[in-house]
Structure 1
Amino acid sequence: MPEPETAGQGKAGSCPGGAPFGAWVLLRRLGSGGMSEVFLARPADPARAAERVAVKRLLPELAQIPDFIELFRRETRIASRLAHPNVVRLRDSGVVDGRCYIATEYVAGLDCWKVTRRLSRQGRKLGLGPVVRVVTEMLAGLEHIHNLRDDAGGILGIVHRDISPSNILISREGEVKLGDFGLALLPSEEAETRRRRRLRGKIRFLSPEQIAGAPLDARSDLFAVGVLMAELLLGRSPLQGDTDLAVLSSIRDVRLHLTDDFEKHVPAKLRRILLRSLAREPSERPPDAGAMRQELLDFSYRTGLHVGPRELAETVEALLRPGDVGDAEVLRYTLTPSEDQPVGPREPAVSESTRSVPTLQYRIRKRDGREFGPMPYARAVDGVLTAEFTAMDQAAINDGSFLPLTAVPGLRQHLPLLGQTTVSVVLPLQPDRKGRVEEDTVAAVFLTLAADRETGMLAFEEQRLRKEVYLVEGHPLYVSSNVRSEQLGDFLLSTGAIRPTELEMALAVAPRYGGKLADALVAIEVLDPVTLFELFCAHLRQRLLDLYLWTAGEWTFYRGVPCDQELCLAPAAEDLLRQGIAHTLAEGEEEEWWSTTAPLDVFPAPRPRPPRDWWTLRDAEAAIADTVDGGMSGVEALARVQGRLPDADRKTLLRAFHFCLTAGLIATAWG
């Protein structure tokens, strides 16, 4: 998804004659955000009047709030340590009239995003040599940031977190500078909050661990460097998706979309360097920015592709437009002044164009000719979920013609399975496997399908309740449901992530996004993409885990049925099985369960499926599997395990016994 080239961004207010501000004269206001405003400025000293800097100062309404003052000062303290030719320099900082400010150097030229965009409009891309030059120079600056030390000489462990083309500046002299440290210079919690509020257009540069909310280190930045290098080489992102949420799914699973030209025109050695930086696991990426830079330098010298600043300078000069140099739009990327979001209670961010679009109205025609409506989308969906409207009915939108309800995407996806699956697929006439939950248990079904690495659609049905689970090689990836309380909107309300008015607003515009509530919520900016992606995956997991509580019903499995959903769970059969098994024993009910299990004889299961080596067993689980042999009661087995693990608490041991029994690693019988 390209970052928009906002031509009007730089048309900010001027300060006639300049406004004195400490040691600086503010020439022009470039923009403002939730925390600060930015000005083009010159020194107050007449002898230095030709110099230009960007001055960022705290907004007046925040200038007396200690937390924001400390935030600003922390950024200044660490930024003052940055001293590298490939990093935008801090020129000055202080307090004037009670307002904290920082001044940074101004880079006359273009950012990397503008360079690639303007070349693309000419049907061109940066050559291999210039690409390697940009990336190696940027990595030199990144290495400096990563290795920054405190006064005691310890590594600060700074992660930039916001590598993207708009933050890579190329000067008219061919210098490459890394800018925008607003996220890099903050502790992780604050950085995470602010990062999520300024993601628009930069989704594709997140690392898998950023999306997962995992701890970050310098290798997270190297993933973003890999995405950047791929974009420069390909002329487009290697991580594709029609929506922000789909792109996040591609990043999490590192589904790379590389063209035939990539293999044809990019040398094998360079491909290996790039693909290594894009590894899903940080441990498989280069160890640090310096190591990746050295690999690229070695490649460029050996292949004769090494270029100096002159080639980059010529490219920038050829692409400059009148007003580029000195324009606010260039400086905007030096400090990204307008990226911060407003402080205070969150209000639904809906554009005027969205507010003015009339919402779609639905009409439903039953088989007997009765008509219902007009009704809003939410009411129509509710009717489908409660089987008031079925696949045999017809639907019309506004004044349109009636169509089979199965031909209306926004309603079709909510239809029940078998007659019409909730995900539109064609099912075989007969299932490949089937059974009753009363006999097999949900856990046993998932264990068997995981052991057999099955791919297809697993359906559960009990009276009017229906769920479908799509598996790939035994991994549950997607779960659909017609249970009213398990719809995404209800889930988001229950977690407090959105308010009822926001849900109503999103449902009203959802038909414009194919009936996809998640995309509508992002589009009207009720939730940021990463937060919603996390919530959506949690929603799918909850749908799956609640299945484990079913004690009755029919299950059927259709082998080979694909799932074409863009947003899915990551392949994690073991973790999901563990969570599901744990879900069947409520917290606080361990002793009650054990009272019925303790008298039974326990013995090793002859052929567990999946086998023991499929699992990553925890200490208590391994001890139980090792200890249990024939001819002992549960009481005796527990005593033996307690002897082996004297520090383990009783609850942990009981839950481990429950896991081993449910997973089929041990079995029971009456003595």
Structure 2
Amino acid sequence: MMQIGRYAVFEEIARGGMASVHLGRLMGQAGFSRTVAIKRLHPHLAKDPEFVTMLLDEARLVGRIQHPNVVSMLDVVATGGELAIVMEHVTGETLLSIMRRVQKQRVRVPIEIASAIMVNVLRGLDAAHDVRGENGVTLGLVHRDVTPHNVMVRRDGIALVLDFGVAKAAGRFHTTEEGKVKGKLPYMAMEQLRGLEVTRRTDIYAAGVVFWEILVGERLFTGDNEGELLERVLFSTVDPASKRRDDIPPMIDEAILRALSRKASERFATAGELAEAIEKSRAVALPSQVASWLDALAGESLAKQADRVREIDSGSRASFSELENLVASVSAGAVPVAAPAEAPQAPAKEPVAAVASVALPEQQSTEASMSAIKSLPKRERSRSWIPLLVAALVGLAIPTVWALTKGAKPPETAVAQTPGAPPLETTRPEKVAPQPSVTPTLTASSSALAEAPTASATASTVAAAPPTNRPPTGPRTGPTTAPPTPKPPAGNCVSIDANGRKVYNRECLRGQ
């Protein structure tokens, strides 16, 4: 086993002319892992800029294709002078392996199974042909190598297209040199062999060849050498598949012959159209039926693949103690964990200080206290309601104490007298009777303060309270006139001044 980046690389599972494919394992934190397929360039090609560019192009192109019938591209790794692409791992058999097993067992692929496989392949090709770039323009991608080697039938009965290594598309960094042909001769269309422009219809031709071969169980074009093979591809007449196998429906026979037309304009316009033509024959199996047939054909090979994946999985699985340690590290902040963005929070409030430092009317003080309590977390409410209630009562009691003391004020809060205005009387009456016009809230506050231990404590509480909005004490710079004193309504000892505050009538407090 070797390591490439965060991937463990195991044995080789496939090999081509340009690269080899290995079984791999993504090793993540918290015991996360995933089986993958890692494609690596052959050592003698790993430093060739042409092949490196081709591998990067394949990753970029396939990464844009999102379809269940195309093998997904997951990552590109460049480390230690080596470049590799990471793909979805598929437990299954290549179509080439399936055809070889069928020939060895001297059986034929059921028409429904072959049709289902080809419909999947054509759907994947159709998605690849329609892939678009960043600007939303179709890239004109052409696979150019649709062969049994590059079709994988998964264990669940779904077929996938893979290996876009020689695909042609707009925006590729690597371009095919003039006169150089890429692909496999038996599956190449006329325009591809002659070095002309290739289109999606080129892939449709190759798909027709593959479909013919699955049904018949033989190669469509053969030759002792490449020259003879090329001549037969260019000039030989293609026999209908039904001539070699008499149970093939006419609709499928016609669809294959149209796909194999030597003129590109006579073929199906899209791979999707050919898939629809096959589906109309009603000879298409369900994925579950394909899976059952594949398991009967290659069950031993599929079981070995699954066992190997489980073996690798068990070796890379984190132990319970390791998970516990990781959880503890994350909780302690030792391991950086990306947390969801939180909305900005307002600065923490201090409800007690806020209530105690403001002289509010009775109702406003109570509402402010309750809202402050509700804004606290549930755990803190049970511990915070007592000081808030005491502070609220102190705020409520200040007006009552001031009324009971007949307007006596501490020295630091004395109101400056306006020149020419009559002095305010501050003498304390011998006895002040409770007035019926005082609100119930004030009466309750008075009774609460009656339990104060000493008069000095009451006076210090009043002195500590913040001054209300009274006229400023300090020298005045110009002639001023005393604000008119609002007259209380008849029979009422409390009035509201211009600032919205309660003003107690001194005459009422004297009992007059």
TM bucket normalised to smaller: 0.5 to 0.7
Paired AA for residue 208 in structure 1:
M
Of 90, 99, 118 in structure 2, the residue corresponding to residue 135 of structure 1 is 118
Matches of 1:34 and 1:259, distance apart in 2: 31
Matches of 2:118 and 2:177, distance apart in 1: 24
Matches of 2:113 and 2:146, distance apart in 1: 18
Of 195, 201, 212 in structure 2, the residue corresponding to residue 213 of structure 1 is 195
CA contact (8 A) 1:108 1:325 kept: no
CA contact (8 A) 1:184 1:191 kept: no
Matches of 1:69 and 1:238, distance apart in 2: 34
Q: How does 1:525-604 map to 2 (within 5 A)?
A: none
Q: Is 1:319–2:297 an aligned residue pair?
A: yes
Change (3 A) 1:36 1:191: farther
Aligned to 1:297: 279
CA offset at residue 166 of structure 1? 1.7
Of 261, 270, 285 in structure 2, the residue corresponding to residue 279 of structure 1 is 261
CA contact (8 A) 1:74 1:185 kept: no
Q: How does 1:220-231 map to 2 (within 5 A)?
A: 220-231=202-213
Change (3 A) 1:154 1:167: same
Q: Is 1:28–2:14 an aligned residue pair?
A: no
Matches of 2:284 and 2:17, distance apart in 1: 43
CA offset at residue 120 of structure 1? 2.2
User: Whose strand proportion is higher, 1 or 2?
Assistant: 1
Q: Is 1:190–2:176 an aligned residue pair?
A: yes
Matches of 1:62 and 1:261, distance apart in 2: 45
Matches of 2:156 and 2:113, distance apart in 1: 14
Q: Is 1:155–2:138 an aligned residue pair?
A: yes
Of 64, 68, 71 in structure 2, the residue corresponding to residue 85 of structure 1 is 68
Change (3 A) 1:260 1:146: closer
CA contact (8 A) 1:59 1:99 kept: no
CA offset at residue 253 of structure 1? 2.1
Question: In structure 1, the residue corresponding to 2:246 is in which secondary structure?
Answer: helix
Aligned to 1:268: 250
TM-score (norm 2): 0.54
Of 278, 282, 286 in structure 2, the residue corresponding to residue 308 of structure 1 is 286
CA contact (8 A) 1:161 1:184 kept: yes
Give deviations 1:19-52, integer Å, cap 9, x for gaps. 2321211122457777545432101226566632
User: Structure 1: which 5+ residue stretches go unaligned?
Assistant: 1-14, 332-671
Paired AA for residue 259 in structure 2:
S
Matches of 1:86 and 1:31, distance apart in 2: 20
Q: Is 1:51–2:34 an aligned residue pair?
A: yes
Aligned to 1:491: none
Give deviations 1:203-240, integer Å, cap 9, x for gaps. 31111222222211111111111111111111112334
CA offset at residue 327 of structure 1? 5.9
Q: Is 1:175–2:158 an aligned residue pair?
A: yes
Aligned to 2:85: 102
Paired AA for residue 138 in structure 1:
V
Matches of 1:123 and 1:221, distance apart in 2: 29
CA offset at residue 325 of structure 1? 5.8
Matches of 1:269 and 1:321, distance apart in 2: 32
Matches of 2:167 and 2:88, distance apart in 1: 18
Change (3 A) 1:315 1:55: same
CA contact (8 A) 1:25 1:41 kept: yes
CA contact (8 A) 1:109 1:325 kept: no
Paired AA for residue 102 in structure 2:
L
CA contact (8 A) 2:241 2:248 kept: no
Matches of 1:258 and 1:242, distance apart in 2: 23
Of 223, 238, 241 in structure 2, the residue corresponding to residue 256 of structure 1 is 238
Matches of 1:257 and 1:242, distance apart in 2: 20
Matches of 2:130 and 2:303, distance apart in 1: 32
Matches of 1:298 and 1:264, distance apart in 2: 19
Question: In structure 2, the residue corresponding to 1:139 is in which secondary structure?
Answer: helix
Matches of 2:14 and 2:236, distance apart in 1: 36
Change (3 A) 1:147 1:236: same
CA offset at residue 262 of structure 1? 4.1
Question: In structure 1, the residue corresponding to 2:86 is in which secondary structure?
Answer: strand
Matches of 2:241 and 2:43, distance apart in 1: 50
CA offset at residue 75 of structure 1? 2.3
Matches of 1:236 and 1:139, distance apart in 2: 21
CA offset at residue 259 of structure 1? 6.5
Matches of 1:176 and 1:44, distance apart in 2: 28
Change (3 A) 1:32 1:205: closer
Question: In structure 2, the residue corresponding to 1:320 is in which secondary structure?
Answer: helix
Change (3 A) 1:92 1:40: same
Question: In structure 2, the residue corresponding to 1:156 is in which secondary structure?
Answer: coil
Aligned to 1:126: 109
Give deviations 1:237-259, integer Å, cap 9, x for gaps. 23344443223212212521446
Change (3 A) 1:267 1:53: same
**Greater Cα offset, 307-316 or 32-41:** 32-41
Matches of 1:268 and 1:31, distance apart in 2: 37
CA offset at residue 180 of structure 1? 1.0
Give deviations 1:86-133, integer Å, cap 9, x for gaps. 001111113223432210111111111221221222221111111111
User: Structure 2: which 5+ residue stretches go unaligned?
Assistant: 310-512
Aligned to 1:40: 23
Give deviations 1:461-484, integer Å, cap 9, x for gaps. xxxxxxxxxxxxxxxxxxxxxxxx
RMSD across aligned positions (CA)? 3.1
CA offset at residue 323 of structure 1? 4.8
Change (3 A) 1:280 1:85: same
Give deviations 1:427-477, integer Å, cap 9, x for gaps. xxxxxxxxxxxxxxxxxxxxxxxxxxxxxxxxxxxxxxxxxxxxxxxxxxx
Change (3 A) 1:154 1:20: same
Q: Is 1:166–2:149 an aligned residue pair?
A: yes
CA contact (8 A) 1:108 1:326 kept: no
Change (3 A) 1:103 1:155: same
Change (3 A) 1:254 1:280: farther
Matches of 1:48 and 1:180, distance apart in 2: 30
Paired AA for residue 149 in structure 1:
R
Question: In structure 2, the residue corresponding to 1:230 is in which secondary structure?
Answer: helix
Change (3 A) 1:168 1:260: closer
CA contact (8 A) 2:91 2:305 kept: no
Change (3 A) 1:44 1:203: same
Paired AA for residue 286 in structure 2:
G
CA contact (8 A) 1:36 1:57 kept: yes
Of 112, 128, 139 in structure 2, the residue corresponding to residue 145 of structure 1 is 128
Matches of 1:176 and 1:192, distance apart in 2: 34
Change (3 A) 1:75 1:299: same
CA contact (8 A) 1:62 1:68 kept: yes
Change (3 A) 1:56 1:191: farther
Aligned to 1:237: 219
Change (3 A) 1:144 1:97: same
